[in-house]
Amino acid sequence: MVEPNSTTSGGAGPEVLPGAAPLRRQSWLPFSPPAVGQAEIDEVADTLRSAWITTGPKTQRFEREFAAFVGAPGALALNSCTAALHTALATLGIGPGDEVITTPMTFAASVNVIEHVGARPVLVDVEPDTLNIDPAAIAAAITARTKAVLPVHYAGHPVDLDRIGELARAHSLAVVEDAAHAIPAQYRGRCIGAGPNPVAFSFYATKNLTTAEGGMLTGEPAFLERARVLSLHGMTRDGWQRYHEGGSWFYEVVLPGFKYNMTDIQAAMGLCQLRKQEEFQRRRRQVVARYSGAFASDEAFELPVARADTTHAWHLFVLRLRPQALRIGRDQFVAELTARNIGTSVHFIPVHLHPYYRTKYGYRPDDFPVAYENFRRMLSLPLHPGLSDGDVSDVIEAVLAVASAHRR
C-alpha cells in the first residue's frame, strides 16, 4: 500500500482528505511520456554515424513526408512550434501598431510570439463546448488595426475554420493556425495544415508526434521560401547547401533573421514517428473510448466533445468537474489523484491570468468568463500510446474513487 503522503519521487506528496478512498496503484503513472522505440534510436544512431547531423538531407526528407502526410502545399522544419508561429508572423510583416486576435485558452507561447513581433495580442473568449476560440467573439474584436487571427486547435479539436475563414476574407486578415495539438486532426475531411495559410505544428516531447523539441510550418511554397530565409539568420544558403558535395561557400544575409532550424537528429526521430501515427492514433482513441464510457453517466464530470464535422486528434483528454456534484475543487481532486500515483496536468492557465499579461493589459479573471470558469474545474488525464489496459483501468478507478469519496 502506498502511503497517503508519499509519491514514487520520494518527496512529500499532497494531503488526502479524510474519507478518501484507499490508495491502489503502487507505481507512478506518468502523464505523457514520449512513445520512442528502437526504430527512432536506430535512425538517430544512423544520423550520428553519418557525416551530417544538423539541418540536411533528413530534415529535407522529413519536410517532404510531413507535407504529404497532412496534404500541405509545403513544409518548413523548425526547432519548435513557437519558432514556426514567430516566423510566420514576421514573414507576414506583422509588427508594431498591428493587432492579432487569439485565445486566452492556450499555452503562453501562442501569445508571446505576437509580443515578439511588436504587435498587440487581442484576447477573446472561447466556446463552452470545445474551448476553442469563439468566431462570434473574433468578429466583435476586429478593428482597423487587426491584421491576423491566430486560432488554437485546443486539445486536438479543430476550430471552426469555415467561420474564421469567412471573417478573414471579409476583413483581409491573415490566419495563422496554432496546430500544436492537431496531428492528425481533420476539419470537414481535410487534415489541419492542408490549406494555403500558415499552420504551425509542435513536436515537443509530450506531443502526438515528437522529435524531443521541434516544429513544422506549413503553407504555400513561396511563403515558406521567405520564411526559410528568415528562420536561419536571413541567409540565402544553409549549411547543407554550403558544405555538401557540390555546394558553394558563398552566401548573403538579406535580413536579420533567427536561429530556428531543425537538426537531422531531430528529423530522424520525426521520420519514424510519422510512420507510427496511425498506430498511435488508434491507441489514443481506444483510451478515449474507455474514459468516455466510464465517466459519461457520472454527474460529477463533463466530458470533452468531438463535433461531427471534425476528426479529433485527442492530444489531450480534458475532464471538467461539476462543482455542484462535488465537495472538493479541482486542485484537491488533482492532489488526490497524485497521491494515488496518477499523473495529471491542467491545460491551461488562461493567458490573461499570468502576471505579465495581467499587468500590461489590466486583465481581470472574469474578462473571459468561459475560459476562466472552465479553467477552474478542468484537469487533463493521462493519454498516450504507451498506456496499458491496466493503466487505463487504474486511472478510471482512481477518478471514480475520488469522486465517490467527495460527492455532495
Distance CA 88, CA 170 (A): 21
- Take residue 264 and report the three cell numbers written for it: 537531422
Question: Under DSSP, is residue 37 helix (H, G, I), strand (E, B) or coil?
Answer: coil
| Alpha carbon 360 to chain centroid, angstroms | 25
- Take residue 226 and report the three cell numbers written for it: 521567405
* Helix (H) or strand (E) run with residue 284 in it: helix 277-295
Concatenated DSSP letters of 106-170: S-THHHHHHHHTTPEEEE--B-TTT-SBPHHHHHHH--TTEEEEE-B-GGGPPP-HHHHHHHHHH
**Phi-psi label, residue 362: left if phi above 0, alpha if psi -120 to 50, beta otherwise:** left
Q: Is the peptide bond before 348 cis (omega within 30 degrees of 0)?
A: yes
Q: Is 364 exposed, middle or buried (0-12, 13-18, 19+ CB in 10 A)?
A: exposed
| Alpha carbon 119 to chain centroid, angstroms | 22
CA distance readout (Å), 253 to 4, 79, 235, 237, 257: 60, 20, 4, 9, 8
* Helix (H) or strand (E) run with residue 175 in it: strand 174-175
Distance CA 16, CA 369 (A): 30
Look at residues 269, 196, 256 and name the one whose alpha carbon lies nearest to residue 38. Answer: 269
Give yes or no: 207 in active site.
yes
- Take residue 341 and report the three cell numbers written for it: 500515483
Sheet with 186-187: list strands edge to edge: 190-191, 186-187, 310-311
- Catalytic residue chosen out of the listed positions 58, 207, 259, 360: 207
Active-site annotation, residues:
207
